[in-house]
Structure 1
């Protein structure tokens, strides 16, 4: 995959292909996404409250559809967080990503450095990052979020080479990745995150990683979160397809069943459900729907 050195831009590049499959339904997605903007300026979480994490996905989905976000409203919301003081790790990284999605014009250089300093407080002794301070080792998800945040802030990550070493410690014998040390079973999303991070860090992956991901395909389409999961889900599907594309592993043989799976989660309201048992629409899963469709568009 010829991609920018940013997994945010990389995924946006792919999601922009989704309208080829959506056709006229793209306008329904646009309408749904704009309905998720709260009076405070952030995109709504599942309780209807503005949230930085969901704002990431709302902004990126609009960018994928080439629809202009209500910048003045959203930027005013983002500026209330300054350099992120008081935010947890995920929301600090989300703040950096939201600003990047608005072109970086609404955050000062001092706030960028302050946000990077905050993210650095989640660094672990092994060189990785974890969403909880004080952990001895990093998580795969934490590593990807931190690396992405530094890119979004356009700042160099201190000792970036140590991040790859921390990631390598999470590899399991079957080719999958555990999110944290000591876990005996990998997950699809964690393995996909490890693939993306390792590729950007030019760090070698186990030979069986791609094969393990393909084994998680459900007979009815979509990917399972773990080998023992009862149902496939959209997050696992989108991230697995992205990882397989990055590994240059063909997945044309599962294209039709994956399209059928995604279609089963689509609603005329313009959003996507996360899985067959889900009954709530949000910007996050709609974003993953666009990413998955982008990978399946050709």
Structure 2
């Protein structure tokens, strides 16, 4: 079973919830925020396996190419351009769809492989951990997310999604059986939560809300959930102690004063999301 943890915006506590819930649920932890995979900073797993992520990109044989431009017209991602009598390739814009190779009538286009990132796996506190890491300068995270999620372990997986509601998040949600949306009781939090809810609805999966930095009052998030009949899984209090532990890069679940919060959230999740 795969549970995606997402947020409409960065900084709401999505990774805090993901890492601590993985420990509370004794699940596998999978960090799909490949542009900034910071879950390992808290879990500190011993990495025992590193795998390269390779993608296809077109290679132009100048001896066969007549610069007709058919490949340029076929490319929907502007990875190819005709400049005077030359065909220019912008390999980092290529989506490896193969249309250019099909369009070329002269066999001038073939595909090669190049590295865009890595997959790292290890263990921490008896749970399996995996993350994708996008190489610096690479613009597309989806191939790494796909590689990471195509090889999920059996059992329960907590998927720490990228922030926001971009195609990276949508791609991660394709693998999910349920979702947890993490937000904070601010106008910005509400605005982006509303967008995240609409994205999750597209997948017709169970979902619930966790409110981080909760003030315990009838705030705008609680009001929104009540008006839209959205289940609140629980809340993490607005606490100086939590902020201090987090700022040191320590895991909250190791602190006896905070452990109960995530144990309670873990039990509530089983009641909100169909469990199998």
Q: Please give the range of the TM-score, normalised by the shorter of the 2 chains.
A: under 0.3
* Bigger proportion of residues as strand: 2
TM-score normalised by structure 2 residue count: 0.28
Greater RCO structure (CA 8 Å; 6+ sep):
2
Structure (1/2) with the larger helix percentage:
1
